[in-house]
Structure 1
Amino acid sequence: MSTVTRSNVVGVVANVVRWIGLLFALVLVVHVLLTVGEANPANGITRFFARTADPLALAFKSLFMPESAQLRVLVNYGLAAVFWLVVSAVLSRLVRRLS
């Protein structure tokens, strides 16, 4: 494989990793906004983001347990969003450096 082709492939892989992290963070942030904004929990959009965000929150889901459910989602899912942004940035750089 030529150096240019390898460089292009590595760049694409690094960008895909970064975009996946951004997508995960976006799903988590939308879930936070819908929860804090008191969106109708029976609405299909709200349910979709709640179901999708749940596994993405990993162990952050129950890291802090304030009384308010809205504050709980804001803090825990917000931290999970930051986690995905950091992890995807680090992995993206690692992919580029290992090339």
Structure 2
Amino acid sequence: MASNKTNSGSAVATLFQGVGFLLAVLLVAHTVFVLFDFQPEGRLAQSVRQAAEPLALFFPGLVDAPTPELQILLDYGLAALFWMLLGGLLARIFG
């Protein structure tokens, strides 16, 4: 049987999934910049940090890690995973 999905439904789903992906990319970029000491005083690193910190929500400090590197990975990695899952879930609901 043919599906009754419209183009607007799939466009909304794609939009939700794309936004979730872009937010996760920002968080991963911040993680990479911090772990590899990518010019923290540079404009790019500062802009990414300013965007990533509020997107991390409540995840920083949620899980205690023994090393600072692992703490950064957990804090921003869990937030990136959250945004990917939320974008996929919303795409599934509205798609």
Q: Could you tell me the TM-score, scaled by structure 1's length? A: 0.84
**2:26 matched to which residue of 1?**
27
Letter in 2 for 1:84: W
Bigger drift between 56-65 and 7-16 goes to 56-65
Letter in 1 for 2:81: V
**Greater helix share, structure number:** 1
Alignment of 1:12-91 (within 5 A): 12-66=11-65, 68-91=67-90
Letter in 2 for 1:27: L
- Unaligned regions of 5+ residues in structure 2, if any? none
Tell me how large the CA RMSD over aligned residues is. 1.6
Separation in 2, partners of 1:64, 1:41 = 25
Separation in 2, partners of 1:65, 1:41 = 24
Separation in 2, partners of 1:45, 1:68 = 26
Shift of the alpha carbon at 1:67? 5.3
Separation in 2, partners of 1:68, 1:38 = 16
Q: Could you tell me the TM-score, scaled by structure 2's length? A: 0.87
Separation in 1, partners of 2:39, 2:13 = 37
- Unaligned regions of 5+ residues in structure 1, if any? none
